[in-house]
Structure 1
């Protein structure tokens, strides 16, 4: 049985990923910051809820200890928790605005990965999936044929560029763990105001990377159609 922990899994892409992995036979641990929403989502899916606030060291450490005590191991970590951050005129952005986005999307990812890595290393096939975005790709955002080229989201895009780079660099260092970045594409969630393809389609790349075998890729940036430019 494959045990999978997903952060930010009480709604949208995280929830759909959890649902799909339950269908695939995974033992899913649903991580969320809000206990009420997290428990409700976990109950609906028939999985176990683990509270985690990716911006808080103590919360992340407690979540890892919780999994160690109950499951004793972890096979797949999906770093899904993320925020869009401030959207508006670029001259209005402050240091506090970018710090808030980076704390969740980038520092939070590092915090969670660090805490759960010892558990992952007890697995015969440890896998990490970092949910990134085409909005963090230089190639994608400069391609007029791509929808991402029509938007300007400096803070979010910078954070997701960092996520993808962290993924490739971690993959070089962590030879015993497969670690990849997934781009859900423009998905109809609260992030996009309901614009884009379905959440089911958005979750495809995440689910694909969460279910790779021992011969699967590492250090890759993929959407549901294949590899993406950096």
Structure 2
């Protein structure tokens, strides 16, 4: 597939939320791209592509839908073979696909909830990166991004329970203030360690590696719902998309190997 020398950007989970807004941000860039829009569902991916092309009919950036479910090794392997055959390299991999669930009596145990979050946010992301690394190192100036969370910061949590939440001061069990996002935030802390591993591993290849902390944004992640998140002060997902675009375009290169936030870097 000819891409006319455009930089090739692969984004997982790009049919919705921050991934979708990242595609929109790149479509509005003065730099033309070929975007590989990763989606677990081909139908949802094609629907997102159609909406984007309708909104931006004159963009020089092209979009290709790729079916990829990062919780499946086979799906990742099949996606790799397609991208390798069509392009031979990628200039940027944005590990955006994420997962957040809570235990539900009779439906999902505590262990299952934690395992689901780690399977996507850590294990699946690691496998996706490992499989696609050969295509990244073929591109000069390639970039590898991991979308993390402000909740992942150990330094921010130290000395307080969680941002905006009550101190768990009541005695007894269960705790009314038990954080329902413990699995999610712990998995994103692990993701930041993963990013550091890749940062040092790919340094000899010239690949710049980052975590991206977009802040609290109104997405569907975790099933809370965008409207409820907006009421809690969440920003528009386009904020995250624009941060990612800036990193892809080299505007935050001095912060490689760190957790890039809207302003400055987030402490580990």
2:261 corresponds to: 223
What is the CA–CA distance in structure 2 between the aligned matches of 1:36 and 1:143, rounded to whole Å?
Answer: 46
Aligned Cα root-mean-square deviation (Å): 2.3
Matched positions, count: 227
2:184 corresponds to: 156
Please say which structure displays the higher CA radius of gyration.
Answer: 2
Shift of 1:13: 0.5
What is the CA–CA distance in structure 1 between the aligned matches of 2:164 and 2:208, rounded to whole Å?
Answer: 30
Contact map agreement 1:180 1:219 (CA 8 A) in 2: yes
Contact map agreement 1:141 1:149 (CA 8 A) in 2: no
CA deviation vs aligned residue, 1:58-100 (integer Å, no higher than 9, x gap): 11011111111112210000000001111689xx952221111
1:33 to 40, 45, 48: 40
SS in 2 for 1:150: coil
The unaligned stretches of length 5 or more in structure 2 are 1-5, 54-62, 167-178
What is the CA–CA distance in structure 2 between the aligned matches of 1:180 and 1:132, rounded to whole Å?
Answer: 10
1:124 corresponds to: 140
SS in 1 for 2:257: coil
Shift of 1:213: 6.8
Contact map agreement 1:125 1:213 (CA 8 A) in 2: no
Contact map agreement 1:32 1:52 (CA 8 A) in 2: yes
SS in 1 for 2:35: strand
CA deviation vs aligned residue, 1:137-160 (integer Å, no higher than 9, x gap): 11233587xx83438211000100
Contact map agreement 1:102 1:159 (CA 8 A) in 2: yes
The residue correspondences of 1:48-87 to structure 2 (distance < 5 A) are 48-86=64-102
What is the CA–CA distance in structure 2 between the aligned matches of 1:83 and 1:14, rounded to whole Å?
Answer: 13
Query: Is 2:109 aligned against 1:104?
Result: no
Closer, same or farther in 2 for the Cα pair 1:87/1:225, shift >3 Å? Answer: farther
Q: Please, which moves more after superposition, 203-212 or 214-223?
A: 214-223
Shift of 1:204: 2.8
Shift of 1:120: 0.7
Contact map agreement 2:208 2:253 (CA 8 A) in 1: no
The unaligned stretches of length 5 or more in structure 1 are none
